[in-house]
Amino acid sequence: MRNFIALFTMLSATTFSLWTQPFSTIREYETAIQQCFERAVPSMPDSLKTNLNDTIESLFASALALPEAFSYAFDSLKKIGSIFSRDEKVRIFTWDIQLSDGSHQYSGMILYRTTMMRNLCFSGWRIMHGPLKMHQRLCWVRKPG
């Protein structure tokens, strides 16, 4: 029990510090997101995995708010899938976290490029044990000038 409490305290503190720390470059966000994925071990309780996924969503939404996000490769994020639409106006990112019962929590973000706005990021859909649940998080980034 002591080990569990120590693990929970350490992970919560680390996750909270990653989530609250503003980064100045997209590479820094990418590194922080990768570190979150590395912390998600199969033996971790589902509640901690869900909290970690929330942190990943928050970090990723902040990264996608940066102007260079649409064309940035995100090469080191091996657990995140990314596709572009044919007209290259939409980019979709998806990932999942496996839960202890073998089910998966699927999450993703949609990045849309318009003429009036640099990037529009629609984030936080989540499929978990059944029906699609949408979270209403949006980030808007104005085109410079």
pLDDT confidence bin for 21, thresholds 50/70/90: low
pTM: 0.71
pLDDT confidence bin for 66, thresholds 50/70/90: confident
Percentage of the chain modeled with pLDDT above 90: 36
Least confident interval from 11-20, 25-34, 44-53, 64-73: 11-20
The helices-and-strands tally (H runs, E runs) of the chain is 3, 6
Number of domains in the chain: 1
Q: Which domain holds residue 36?
A: 2-142
Q: Alpha helix locations (H) across 21-97?
A: 26-39, 46-64
* Per-residue tokens: 137: 């998080």
CB 45 within 8 A of CB 3: no
- What mean pLDDT value characterizes the chain? 76
Check pLDDT > 60 for residue 93: yes
Which residue shows structure tokens 């720390």? 21
Q: What is the pLDDT of residue 115?
A: 67
Q: What is the mean pLDDT of residues 54-61?
A: 91
Q: What is the pLDDT of residue 89?
A: 86
pLDDT confidence bin for 118, thresholds 50/70/90: low
* Per-residue tokens: 115: 């003429």
